[in-house]
Amino acid sequence: MAAPSLIDQREGRPRTVAEAILLVGGKGTRLRPLTVNTPKPMLEVAGVPFLSHQLARAKAAGITRIVFATAYKPEVFEEYFGDGSRFGLELVYVQEVEPLDTAGAIRNVADQLVSAPNEPVMIFNGDILSGVDLGALRAEHAARGADVTLHLTKVADPRAFGLVPTDADGWVTSFREKPQRPEDIVTDQINAGCYVFKREIIDGIPAGRRVSVERETFPGLLERGAKVLGVVEQSYWLDLGTPAAFARGSADLVLGAISSPAVPASTCERYDAALVLDGAEVAESAQLGAGTTIGRDGRVGADAAVYGSVIGAGAVIEEGVSVRDSIIGRGARIGAGTVLEGVVVGDGANVGAGNELLGGVRVSCDAVLPDSSVRFSHDAS
Ligand code: GTP
Is pLDDT of 40 > 70?
Answer: yes
Q: What is the mean pLDDT of residues 74-89?
A: 95
Mutation test residue for ligand 1: of 23, 95, 129, the one with most atoms within 8 Å of CB: 23
Is pLDDT of 10 > 60?
Answer: no
All domains of the chain in start order, with CATH: 7-240 (3.90.550.10), 264-377 (2.160.10.10)
pLDDT, tens digit, for every residue of 133-159? Answer: 999 999 999 999 999 999 999 998 888
pLDDT, tens digit, for every residue of 203-230? Answer: 999 999 999 999 999 999 999 999 999 9
% the chain with pLDDT above 90: 87
Q: By the 8 A CB rule, do 343 and 363 touch?
A: yes
Predicted TM-score of the model (pTM): 0.90
CA torsion 105→106→112→117, rounded to 10°?
-160
pLDDT of residue 14: 44
pLDDT of residue 320: 98
Determine how β-strand 310-311 pairs with β-strand 292-294: parallel
Q: From the CB of residue 33, how many other CB atoms can be counted at a distance below 10 Å?
A: 18
Residues sharing a CB contact under 8 Å with residue 240, sequence separation 6 or more, in sequence order: 40, 45, 50, 127, 128, 129, 246, 249
The response to whether residue 23 sits with its C-beta less than 6 Å from ligand 1 reads yes
Q: Which atom of ligand 1 is nearest to the CA of 210?
A: 27
The response to whether residue 125 sits with its C-beta less than 6 Å from ligand 1 reads yes
pLDDT of residue 142: 96
Is pLDDT of 373 > 90?
Answer: no
pLDDT, tens digit, for every residue of 227-270? Answer: 999 999 989 999 999 999 999 999 999 999 999 999 999 998 89
The continuous run of DSSP H or E covering 80 comes out as helix 75-81
Q: By the 8 A CB rule, do 354 and 371 touch?
A: yes
Q: Which atom of ligand 1 is nearest to the CA of 126?
A: 18
Cα(27) to centroid of ligand 1, in Å?
A: 6
Q: Nearest residue CA, atom 9 of ligand 1? A: 26
Rounded Cα–Cα distance for residues 310 and 343 (Å): 11
pLDDT of residue 13: 40
Q: By the 8 A CB rule, do 28 and 40 touch?
A: yes
pLDDT of residue 160: 85
Cα(71) to centroid of ligand 1, in Å?
A: 9
Q: What is the mean pLDDT of residues 4-15?
A: 41
DSSP-assigned beta bridge partners for residue 8: 13
Q: What is the mean pLDDT of residues 96-121?
A: 96
DSSP-assigned beta bridge partners for residue 23: 69, 125
Q: By the 8 A CB rule, do 201 and 221 touch?
A: yes
% the chain with pLDDT above 70: 93
